[in-house]
Structure formats: structure tokens, C-alpha cells
């Protein structure tokens, strides 16, 4: 993927993530008062929203790091081994920072 296409996709993704974060950070009191029987569903919704917000913040961080790599001329190179990240991987996940073997090793360690 050429640098201008990568930048366009990453910046578009960043804009979408920022919109999602704004929505997810919305005021929980806007849900209004619910009867006691609905309190469990509110807690579940709050927990879900918190998890979604955390995932969005992590995704945002990955996109910003990819833009930084792009600016530094290291975009598309694995941060672990320096090998090229496959074009198909970058098409699917423009923020990908590792080649497939290094990403697989990282996931096995978790």
C-alpha cells in the first residue's frame, strides 16, 4: 500500500474512532431513572460501554502509532523483526505493526 493511501485510510479510521469515543463517553445519567428491575441491565450496558470504550481507545492508540511509523518511514515494517508486513495484512488492518509470524508468537505468549 502506498504512503498516501495508507495515510488516508489511517486518518479516516482515526476520525471514525474519535466519533465512537465521543458517543461512548456520553453521560450515563442520560439513560434516565429506570425501575429497580432494570438496574441489572443498566449495569450490563455500562460494563459493555466501558469495554467498548477501552477497545476504541486501544485501537486509536494503534492507529496513531501507525501514523507515527508512516511519518518516520517505518510503516509496513514489522516492529519486532523489521521484515515487511504483507500487503494483504495492511489492506485488512492498516494499523498492523507486526508481520504474521511475529504477531502469532505474540498472541501465543498471552
How high is the pLDDT of residue 6?
96
% of the chain beyond a pLDDT of 90: 74
How high is the pLDDT of residue 31?
46
Q: Over 70: is that where the pLDDT of 83 sits?
A: yes
Q: What is the pTM of this model?
A: 0.80
SS3 of the chain: the string is CCHHHHHHHHHHHHHHHHHHHHHHCCCHHHHCCCCHHHHHHHHHHHHHHHHHHHHHHHHHHHHHHHHHHHHCCCCCECCCCCCECCHHHHHHCCCCCCCHHHHHHHHHHC
Amino acid at each position: 500500500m502506498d504512503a498516501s493511501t495508507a495515510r488516508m485510510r489511517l486518518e479516516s479510521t482515526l476520525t471514525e474512532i474519535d466519533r465512537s469515543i465521543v458517543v461512548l463517553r456520553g453521560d450515563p445519567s442520560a439513560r434516565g431513572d429506570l425501575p429497580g428491575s432494570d438496574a441489572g441491565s443498566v449495569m450490563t450496558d455500562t460494563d459493555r460501554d466501558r469495554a467498548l470504550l477501552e477497545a476504541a481507545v486501544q485501537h486509536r492508540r494503534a492507529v496513531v502509532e501507525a501514523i507515527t511509523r508512516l511519518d518516520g518511514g517505518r510503516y509496513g515494517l514489522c516492529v519486532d523483526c523489521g521484515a515487511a508486513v504483507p500487503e494483504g495484512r495492511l489492506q485488512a488492518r492498516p494499523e498492523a505493526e507486526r508481520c504474521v509470524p511475529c504477531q502469532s508468537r505474540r498472541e501465543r505468549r498471552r
